[in-house]
Structure 1
Amino acid sequence: MDSVRFGRALGIGARLAAKTLVTAVDAATAPNPSGAGKAPGAGAATASSDRSRAEESGARLGEKTARTTAQVVETGKGLKRGGRRFGEAVWGPFVKLSGQLWLELTGVFFGIFAAFAASSAWKMRGDLHETAANHDAHGHLLLTAAMAGVFGYFCVSSFVKANRRGKRS
């Protein structure tokens, strides 16, 4: 795993999460614009003008509420997106590395089995030519040699897959 790529991926997720968090804090600490100074009332205002002002104030409050709600939803989406990218940046290399390690570990075990089978086949090499006296020994030799070949193939293919997985980006 390339440490520069890992750091870059981790940095992108962390920066996006931090940016979203800063935006959310700014939105939460911003002063309330609807509570800002009210226009001074002119002496005797009629009931209809009070009603129209209340409707305008209600409309402005509704627009402000809609904007704030949209901003909170967008901030939540950004936070989820940043968290997901952070998780991918952290767990992606871990999953890749653990998969490669698992392939290498299974390759070692297959290699151990292949070595034992090859050792047994080498000990029985005198039974290569089948005669009436050593029919069973000849069968054991062929079976042991086949087992060594199969486990040897599994060992090599497991290491090849691990190597390919390690080179993949």
Structure 2
Amino acid sequence: MLVKDELQKLGVKNMIVELGVVEILEEFSEKQRAKFEENLKKAGLELLDDKKSILIEKIKNVVIEMIHYSDELPKVNYSDYISEKLDLNYTYLASIFSEVNGITLQQFIILHKIERVKELLIYDELNLTEIAYKLHYSSVAHLSNQFKRITGLTPTFYKGLKNKRKQNLENL
């Protein structure tokens, strides 16, 4: 809402505002743009206007939305899903992503899947088998191995840390 409000303060009425993307459908002066960029910086946001940066943000948004904000992950491969959502060839998207970010798109997806596993472990609503199924891991062992490789901890040990912290707080 912040982005839309800032644009309205600058007199912009015709716009489309989506997660991470703004399309201004009317004349936007250089003075308005500079003020908009300044106000975004104050709010901790950044105005991206080069095509690669915009594309990278779109890719990140699709991955984050897919892993963190949808109840069910897509039934198709992640590569097909991302390619379909952005209407671009996955190889091209992956190539640009690695070039700009220094990690592969696959590594980015894995990191976010592990973050999601951590969230689900802490919420304590699903067991490891259910989490593996929900996040499309081939097995609990695969999830556990990937979790340990990324975090250095097993999922069970990680979950136990939460319980230890809770006990320590209760003993204070």
- Name the TM-score, length of structure 1 as normaliser: 0.19
Q: Which has the larger radius of gyration?
A: 1
Q: Which structure shows the bigger proportion of residues in strand conformation?
A: 2
- Name the TM-score, length of structure 2 as normaliser: 0.19
